[in-house]
Amino acid sequence: MIGILAFCILVPRAFCGFFCPLGTLIDAFDWLIGRHFKRWHLAENGPKGIWVHIKYYILAGVLITSAMGVLTSGFFSAIPVLTRGLLFTGGRAQLWAMKGEAHLPPVGWTFYLSIGLFATVFLLSLKGRRFWCRYVCPSGALLSVFNFFRVGERKVTSSCVNCNLCVEICPFDAIHEDYTTRTNDCTYCQSCGGECPVDAIKFVTRWDDEELKEPGTPEVEKRPLSRRGFLSAAAFSAAAASLTRYANAQQGDLPKPLRPPGSVPEREFLDLCIRCGECFKVCPGPVLHPAGLEYGLESMWTPVATPDHAGCHQDCNFCTQVCPTGAIQPLDLLVKRATHMGLAEVNTKTCLPFREDGREDCDLCYQECVDAGYDAIEMNPISLPVDREELEMMGFADAEIDEMATIKAPFVDADKCVGCGICTYRCHTRYVIQEQRLSEAAIPVVAKNEHRQLRFPAKPDDLGTPKTE
């Protein structure tokens, strides 16, 4: 972020004009669809009323709610909106094509909210080109503020013939009525320079004032920031943050989310996670899915491991490398293998060797754990109810009866288990999806704060290398 802001001092709002992937998609939408609805567009010289500075009011609201401990940037910032939108559309289609419908996460109202926000970004273009970027995006507002420190600037020379072509071509409404520059909005894209028939537009340093056009002809429409707008944004944001905190306090005991390896303690995690979606994009399973409301309003869109859909592979530490805020700490691969996410627990009511309605051998979870190199599951004998007298009368020897009276069942070693969920995934895949004998995996992983730590205090060089298939 610091690098982006520093670069924008040299090239004003360079991220908006040249690098933002959402802006590229909006340009494509404008060309394919938006240009056919020009009758709905606002005036070329800029909208009147609330739209003019709404991005600054949204930015103020985001900053105020953040200061009150409620993160709202994920609802409005360009990259989180884009990431979630693509994750819930193209990403979902990709997962369906590669792994089947059974591996798709359930759809809740947060899914539709994400799709709605994503669609709104594009539908706003029906009101004008790059409408979101011009008037709504708080990320653009933050970069606009840093335009005060700009080095480069668009200038207009005295050869300007007032043809208005630059105003018509400008995608960011950054040109005054007298054809000079609204410096806070200019992205240095130079589209206007290529359109000017007399080469009256130049892009130079802000201190270059040679042969400039006289300002004020025609008269410039003033666009002052509204004090009332800022006060309204502040009041609304404070009320929303207070209601959110109150709602979280009233939700009582909620299940603990299973966070990625290397995640900081939950309270700190919620404060640091900006719902940017970077961990979702790099997760190959995907193991990580965005949380809904099952863990509380404050956890919405944060990453949660879902072992039913995939296990956290022992040779993957991608999510720990991309988190920009430290909510997920960077982990060396060997350290990651020894870092607890949670704890696998055998459900003795559904696990096949334990079931009273017909016990049978199964060591699927044990084999998966051994192959992953964790050796956290042991197969130990348990007693079966048999009628020894009847078996003796049938001629079975004691050794044979002892063998018939025992079966091996899985037991989890809590000290070795890291909660990767590979065992859960294999159990769910075979017995829930393929054979449809169970309604849920018989060895789920539960989140426990005391297990969000290293498995044992050791140096990375001493941790060893897990076995792989």
For residue 65, the model assigns a pLDDT of: 86
369 and 280 in one domain? yes
156 and 119 in one domain? no
Helix or strand (DSSP H, E) at 47: none
Nearest in space to 182 (alpha carbons), one of 212, 161, 153: 153
Percent of the chain, pLDDT > 70? 87
162 and 84 in one domain? no
392 φ/ψ angles, rounded to the nearest 5 degrees: -65, -40
Model confidence at 238, pLDDT cuts 50, 70, 90, reads: confident
194 and 272 in one domain? no
- Beta-strand relationship, 343-344 and 445-446: antiparallel
Please write the tens of the pLDDT for every residue from 256-297. Answer: 899 999 999 988 898 888 888 889 888 887 899 888 888 887
Residue 238 lies in a domain: no
- Give the chain's length: 469
Give the residue carrying structure tokens 């017909």. 358
Please write the tens of the pLDDT for every residue from 423-457. Answer: 999 999 999 989 999 999 999 999 875 444 444 33
**pTM of the shown model:** 0.72
On the question of pLDDT at 27 being above 60, the answer is: yes
Domain encompassing residue 131 = 2-146
Please write the tens of the pLDDT for every residue from 125-145. Answer: 888 888 999 888 998 888 888
Give whole-number Cα distances, 296 to 83, 302, 303, 308, in Å.
21, 11, 13, 21
- For the segment 5-12, the average pLDDT, to the nearest whole number, is 81
156 and 137 in one domain? no
Residue 217 lies in a domain: no
428 and 289 in one domain? yes
On the question of pLDDT at 192 being above 90, the answer is: yes
Residue ending a domain, among 121, 146, 171, is: 146
Residue ending a domain, among 124, 146, 168, is: 146
Please write the tens of the pLDDT for every residue from 311-364. Answer: 999 999 999 999 988 999 999 999 999 999 999 999 989 999 888 777 788 999
Residue 153 to residue 192: CA distance in whole angstroms = 13
For residue 403, the model assigns a pLDDT of: 59
On the question of pLDDT at 154 being above 90, the answer is: yes
139 and 172 in one domain? no
For residue 395, the model assigns a pLDDT of: 66
Nearest in space to 432 (alpha carbons), one of 444, 420, 445: 444
For residue 306, the model assigns a pLDDT of: 92
Residue 232 lies in a domain: no
Do 285 and 92 meet the contact criterion of CB atoms below 8 Å apart?
Answer: no
CATH number for the domain harbouring residue 181: 3.30.70.20
Radius of gyration of the chain (CA): 30
Residue 241 lies in a domain: no
For every residue of 264-295, DSSP letters joined together read: PPHHHHHHH-----HHHHH-SS--EEE--STT
353 and 300 in one domain? yes
For residue 385, the model assigns a pLDDT of: 63
187 and 94 in one domain? no
For residue 48, the model assigns a pLDDT of: 52
Do 35 and 207 meet the contact criterion of CB atoms below 8 Å apart?
Answer: no
175: DSSP letter: B
81 and 10 in one domain? yes
157 and 122 in one domain? no
Residue type, 399: A
Residue ending a domain, among 100, 124, 146, is: 146
Model confidence at 95, pLDDT cuts 50, 70, 90, reads: confident
* Domains held by the chain: number: 3
Residue 6 lies in a domain: yes
Residue type, 465: T
The beta-carbon contacts of 37-41 under 8 Å, at least 24 apart in sequence, are 37/126, 40/126, 40/127, 41/126, 41/127, 41/128, 41/129
For residue 44, the model assigns a pLDDT of: 54
Lowest pLDDT segment from 143-157, 197-211, 338-352, 382-396? 382-396
For every residue of 379-430, DSSP letters joined together read: EEEEE----HHHHHHTT--HHHHHHHTEEEEEEE-TTT-----HHHHHHIII
Give whole-number Cα distances, 124 to 121, 127, 133, 136, 156, in Å.
6, 6, 10, 9, 30
Hey, how many other C-beta atoms are within 10 angstroms of the C-beta on 262?
21
Do 410 and 443 meet the contact criterion of CB atoms below 8 Å apart?
Answer: yes
